[in-house]
Amino acid sequence: MKVKLFHRPVSLLTAFGDKVRVTPGVLSHFAAALYGNSVNLYGVSSGEDSVTFIVDYADEEKAFSILHDSIRTGPIAFSELVVRSNKSAITVNATEMADTPGVAHAAISGLARESINIIEIFSSYGCITLIIEPDQRKKAYSLVVDSLNAKFPQSVEAEE
């Protein structure tokens, strides 16, 4: 498995509304607007009443404007758009261990022990991305690598 520390900061833009998860077209509407304006999505995370888009920090203002405009024309009424700027990302790519219990727990257990807050976490088939504060990025990265090495010796390839 590979653990990678992003060197470029990211921003999280979260749209809040009612019944986000059960309304058809929500992700398509916002993703198409971002794509149509050349904003790359690093990831998407959704909840019952929110959807978060992770973009490059350099694209934050552009993405905010696009999403703000899209909220007014979207499939449901969104009440708020919140930006969390200049965050850091760590990716654990463990696709070869996607069916192995304990990978996610091992990745985050060191962070919990050291009281490092995970601002956002999202995953897709064995790839886990953690969003943390930039002042904790190096320590968090080391803790993730160390925790995974402790649970899965000789399986971790670190890419700082």
Q: CATH 3.30.2130.10 residue ranges in the chain?
A: 2-7+87-159, 10-86
pLDDT tens digit string along 30-86?
A: 999 999 999 999 999 988 888 999 999 999 999 999 999 988 877 676 788 999 999
Long-range contacts of residues 129-133, Cβ cutoff 8 Å, at least 24 apart:
129/42, 129/43, 129/54, 129/89, 129/90, 129/91, 129/92, 130/89, 130/90, 130/91, 130/92, 131/10, 131/12, 131/54, 131/87, 131/88, 131/89, 132/87, 132/88, 132/89, 132/90, 133/87, 133/88
Q: What is the pLDDT of residue 21?
A: 78
Percent of the chain residues past pLDDT 90, beyond the cut = 68
Judged against a pLDDT cut of 90, whether residue 134 lies above it is answered with yes
The answer, yes or no, to whether residue 126 has pLDDT greater than 80, is yes
> Rounded to two decimals, what is the model's pTM?
0.90
CATH number for the region 2-7+87-159 comes to: 3.30.2130.10
